[in-house]
Amino acid sequence: MNESVYDQMIDDLFIRIEEALDELESVDIDYESAEGILTLILPDQSKIILNKQPPLLQLWVATKFNGHHFNYTNGQWIDERFGGEFNEFFNEALSKQAGVPIKLSVEA
């Protein structure tokens, strides 16, 4: 994958996340997006930060509990340490940090 394809894929993912958060009714999660970084602000003011890592073609995610690096493999973003798929990880991280079950579909 080249960097322009990577950039478009991450930009599209961030837009899908923003749209899913706008439709979420169970909890109010604000977000800010700028220069390859999407910051989610949860009700307790904790944050989940997603950011591009173009030199590595990775998606990095930081929660208040830990950080994860995702590589695009076989059509999915896969956690390089634990092997989990991004959408599943993202829902678990949101739910844990928000303290309520959250189920978003952000896959393409």
Categorize the per-residue pLDDT at 27 as very low, low, confident or very high, splitting at 50, 70 and 90.
confident
The torsion angles phi and psi of 14, rounded to 5 degrees, stand at -60, -40
Q: What is the pLDDT of residues 35-57, one digit of tens each?
A: 999 999 999 999 999 999 999 99
Q: Residue 50: name the closest of 99, 4, 15 by CA.
A: 15
Strand, helix or coil at 23? helix
What's residue 107's pLDDT? 77
Percent of the chain surpassing pLDDT 70: 99
What is the rounded distance in angstroms from the CA atom of residue 95 to the CA atom of residue 93? 5
CA atoms within 13 A on the CB side of 60: 13
Task: Return the CATH architecture of domain 3-98.
Answer: 2-Layer Sandwich (3.30)
The torsion angles phi and psi of 7, rounded to 5 degrees, stand at -55, -45
Categorize the per-residue pLDDT at 108 as very low, low, confident or very high, splitting at 50, 70 and 90.
low
What's residue 85's pLDDT? 94
